[in-house]
Structure 1
Amino acid sequence: MSIHTTAKPLTQRSLSKMLMKSSSLSFLVNVGGIGIALIMQILLARQLGAVSYGYYSFVTTAVTFLVFPTKLGFDTAIVRYVSSYRAHGQWAEVKGLLRRANQITAGLSLAVTVISLLVVLLMSGSMNGELLYTYIAGLLGIPVMALALLRQSSLQALKEMLHAQLPEKIIRPVVFIALLFLYNAIADTKAGAGEAMLLFLAAMAVSYAIGAWVLKRRLTPKIQGAGTAYNTREWVNVSLSLMFVSGMYLVLGQLNVLMLGWMEGTTEAGIYGAAVRIATLVSFGLTAINMTAAPFISESYAKKDDKQLRHVLSLSNLAGFLFAGVIYVAFLFLNDPILGLFGEEFKRGSLALLILSTGQLVSAFSGQTGTLMTMTGQQKTLGRILAGSAVLNIVLNFVLIPAFGMLGAAVTNLLCTVCWKTAMVIVIRRKLGISIGMFAWMTANKKRGN
């Protein structure tokens, strides 16, 4: 399928300026967020120790898994639909989509929270008090976390990149660190994993309230006087496909931590989880750029503007990969001291960090494959690719983790990343006629050489 221009596009210069300005802002927020998050994780790891940090990391991963079905894929659907509706001035549909998405997500998240709490209480006899406390505190945060993701997507679709990311990237970790120090001072003792999770829940509530207030202020002038149009069946159908895709991403990104914790213990999972968090720094430049690029991709595709779409992809892919290369080289030499910041016992994850970082570099090299497929209606094909990789992930984890521990989990992550990224690049080329990632630059340079 090809895309042909039917609407007058922005000039490449003006589009580049818009992308670079928004992407730079997003990048700076993400840099600040990553730095603060790293400080937060180091403080937690040093305060809790490997065992309690393992509890915290394991429960956080479990809660992340529980949050994704409550969103029903609406977080991604909002970016796709609102960007398209915005391009055509359909504010009644925007209003209806955001209202319906929040209603459905609120109901599902409350149901998942109640069911999960009941399951944990039934299993409480098989876990110690600290782990039980951590589970209860973590599960209570599911509704807030789910609704915060919808709010973030709404601002992202409106191209309000700073306001979309600031609450979760900056405000939440800063508030959490402040509450942690305040708790230690008032209680005259260090917080355990359960107390830390409860403080994180409080920080989440603060950042959500601020983000929701900003969204209301930004959205109200645009939807004032507009009616409310609902296309619930269409939205839910598309969102279900996107939820499946999100679930597969979650499996590929987090299942290793859960399976490692199940087979090797939560301490091993905590050390590996720290390596996973650090490794994401390699591709976080592309992730930051994606926040800006996704609405432009959806808008370009909706207007059938092939030239603008290719320019957005080309510019953002190159910037993301160059950043990834710099961080990857740094990790080759500094992986051991970086993990040592968490504590001496965390240095056991150094080799796993290098393997995971290689997977992130492969991801950055391949470009915005998932974002492009999602924003152009190829979510079903994307879901099938990710499902195949998830099955491979599970099989390899069962084989490699018992034999090699966290190294087996890291190798599984790398192999699956190579598989699904390669498949996406091929599908995008066949279905959309677009070379993506650094492959696009290689193809363009080859043509110029000829």
Structure 2
Amino acid sequence: MDLKSELKKVISGTLMVRVFSVSATFLTSVLLARTLGAEGFGLYSFVYALIMLVALPCQIGIPVLLVRETAKLESEKSWSKMKGLWFWSGKTILMISALSCVTVFLFQLIKGDGDENQFLTYVFGVLLIPLISLGNCRAAALRGLRKIVKGQLPDAVVRPGFYLIFLTALWCADYANSASLAMGLNVVSAIIGFIVGGYLLVASSPSQIAKVEADYSDSKKWMASSLPLALIGGLQVLSGQTGIILLGLIHEESEAGIYKVAVSIATVMAFGLQIINMIVSPYAARFYHSGELSRLQKIATLGAVVGMSVSIPIFLLVLLAGEDFLSMIYGAGFAMAASPLLILAFGQLVNTFFGSTGTILNMTGNEKVAAKWFGVSAVFNVIASVILIPFYGVVGAAVASSLSVLLWNIVFWILAKRNTGIDGSLLSLFSCVRSFK
């Protein structure tokens, strides 16, 4: 299959997967908000944000490394090192997950007020750390093998699909939901996705993998590369969760739930860019490694175009009917999310305009300089949030987040052009148009 046909197949498959994932996630957030109420949804959102935060080292860095290194090792037919990479990543993630679980329990002991529902929410949340982290690891290996659609199925279809089914069943049965029960059902869904992911990886692995011994000779290099990648991904998630966590600590937990709704809807604006980033990752590593920069530039330009084509209509909807939409879908209690939603939507519009610059940097070996500047923007976000949230609440959190998004996107765009020669922004479209004249 040639590249054009392969990309068409991957894009169409990824589009269907992501449409389902975004739809299921959106419907899940609606069901959670309506069945838990602002207070219960706030507790669920706060604990889930905390879980994602402490699991950052094993959720982001190693999976990104797996995509890049698996793609390179497959092109070199280094099956022993590929097997070693996969085993090394699994063992490392399990060790980090154990430390993350202890961190959450210690936090709960300090902050907990003896409430059983709150305690069980934390307990179930802890179980998600190894399940999601190892699941991301398996998905990354599949994407590195260019099984991009299969790599998304466990976490983008199976897990959210079953979670939506479980929550819908509760709602239809008129069974009283709680934050702890909702988190427990999330764990059950993650276990099902984990099992499916394991099967897909075994079925899709090169036959040579089973016949060779694992080679761990590059483990030090893998660890050295995974640290800045983990820092980038971790800081990215931290920037997204900073507002929720600080609102939960400084203000009432109900405000964290309101802000979570705004974040969830604004994130949908990056839907098109997320699709392309899934596709760009393995191809960027292969094309940059082989010197095929023109091919990489075409994919990067496509990403910016697709991203903006999705973001602009959603931004206009938020601008013109944000409050009415929130009241109709989530309930009148969440109408005050309209202002932070508009601010966050503008930030996502900026994010999609600049395209896949972060992915390009990570896949071409520029993760260290990217981590440095993402760290600057994350620190800026935290400082701005600490200053603004006490006075402006959810609006202050949204302003801090959007300003940090603007900062790191501009810097990443400059770094990608300077270090790789690739322009991942929508501006590259004009260069492509001029090249055809």
TM-score (norm 2): 0.94
Are the aligned partners of 1:70 and 1:146 in contact in 2 as well (CA < 8 Å)?
yes
Name which of 66, 73, 86 aligns with 1:78.
66
Shift of 1:173: 2.0
Give unpaired runs (5+ residues) of structure 1. 1-9
Shift of 1:122: 4.7
1:173-184 matched pairs, under 5 angstroms: 173-182=160-169
- The residue aligned with 2:207 is 221
Matched, 1:191 2:190: no
1:146-295 matched pairs, under 5 angstroms: 146-182=133-169, 189-219=175-205, 221-230=207-216, 231-295=218-282
C-alpha distance in structure 1 between counterparts of 2:60 and 2:403, whole Å = 28
Name which of 418, 425, 428 aligns with 1:437.
425
Distance 1:252 1:129, change over 3 A: same
C-alpha distance in structure 1 between counterparts of 2:107 and 2:320, whole Å = 45
Name which of 358, 361, 377 aligns with 1:370.
358
Shift of 1:446: 6.0
C-alpha distance in structure 1 between counterparts of 2:430 and 2:222, whole Å = 38
C-alpha distance in structure 1 between counterparts of 2:111 and 2:85, whole Å = 38
Distance 1:118 1:390, change over 3 A: closer
**Once structures 1 and 2 are overlaid, which stretch shifts more, 433-442 or 72-81?**
433-442
The letter for the 2-side match of 1:162 is V
Distance 1:123 1:416, change over 3 A: closer
**Once structures 1 and 2 are overlaid, which stretch shifts more, 72-81 or 107-116?**
107-116
- The residue aligned with 2:92 is 104
- The residue aligned with 1:89 is 77
- CA RMSD of the aligned region, Å? 2.0
Shift of 1:184: 6.5
**Once structures 1 and 2 are overlaid, which stretch shifts more, 375-384 or 212-221?**
212-221
Name which of 397, 400, 421 aligns with 2:409.
421
- The residue aligned with 1:299 is 286
Question: Counterpart of 2:269 in 1: which secondary structure?
Answer: coil
The letter for the 1-side match of 2:418 is R
- The residue aligned with 2:41 is 53
Are the aligned partners of 1:261 and 1:268 in contact in 2 as well (CA < 8 Å)?
yes
Identity %: 29
Shift of 1:444: 4.3
C-alpha distance in structure 2 between counterparts of 1:92 and 1:333, whole Å = 56
Matched, 1:387 2:345: no
Shift of 1:110: 2.1
The letter for the 2-side match of 1:224 is A
Shift of 1:115: 4.1
- The residue aligned with 1:34 is 22
C-alpha distance in structure 1 between counterparts of 2:246 and 2:107, whole Å = 19
1:348-363 matched pairs, under 5 angstroms: 348-363=336-351
Give unpaired runs (5+ residues) of structure 2. none
C-alpha distance in structure 2 between counterparts of 1:29 and 1:232, whole Å = 33
C-alpha distance in structure 1 between counterparts of 2:391 and 2:60, whole Å = 36
The letter for the 2-side match of 1:316 is G
Shift of 1:207: 0.9
Are the aligned partners of 2:244 and 2:259 in contact in 1 as well (CA < 8 Å)?
yes
Q: Which has the higher contact order (CA 8 A, sep 6+)?
A: 1
Are the aligned partners of 2:239 and 2:382 in contact in 1 as well (CA < 8 Å)?
no
Shift of 1:428: 1.6
Matched, 1:114 2:102: yes
TM-score (norm 1): 0.92
Distance 1:316 1:164, change over 3 A: same
The letter for the 2-side match of 1:327 is I
- The residue aligned with 1:326 is 313
Shift of 1:221: 2.3
Are the aligned partners of 1:335 and 1:350 in contact in 2 as well (CA < 8 Å)?
yes
Are the aligned partners of 1:70 and 1:112 in contact in 2 as well (CA < 8 Å)?
no
Query: Alpha-carbon deviations, 1:259-296, whole Å to 9, x = none?
Result: 12212221001011011011011111111111111100
Are the aligned partners of 2:272 and 2:303 in contact in 1 as well (CA < 8 Å)?
no
Shift of 1:204: 0.6
- The residue aligned with 2:396 is 408
Are the aligned partners of 2:44 and 2:179 in contact in 1 as well (CA < 8 Å)?
yes
C-alpha distance in structure 1 between counterparts of 2:435 and 2:11, whole Å = 29
Question: Counterpart of 2:211 in 1: which secondary structure?
Answer: coil
Distance 1:446 1:263, change over 3 A: farther
Matched, 1:21 2:14: no
Shift of 1:38: 1.0
Shift of 1:183: 5.3
Shift of 1:448: 6.9
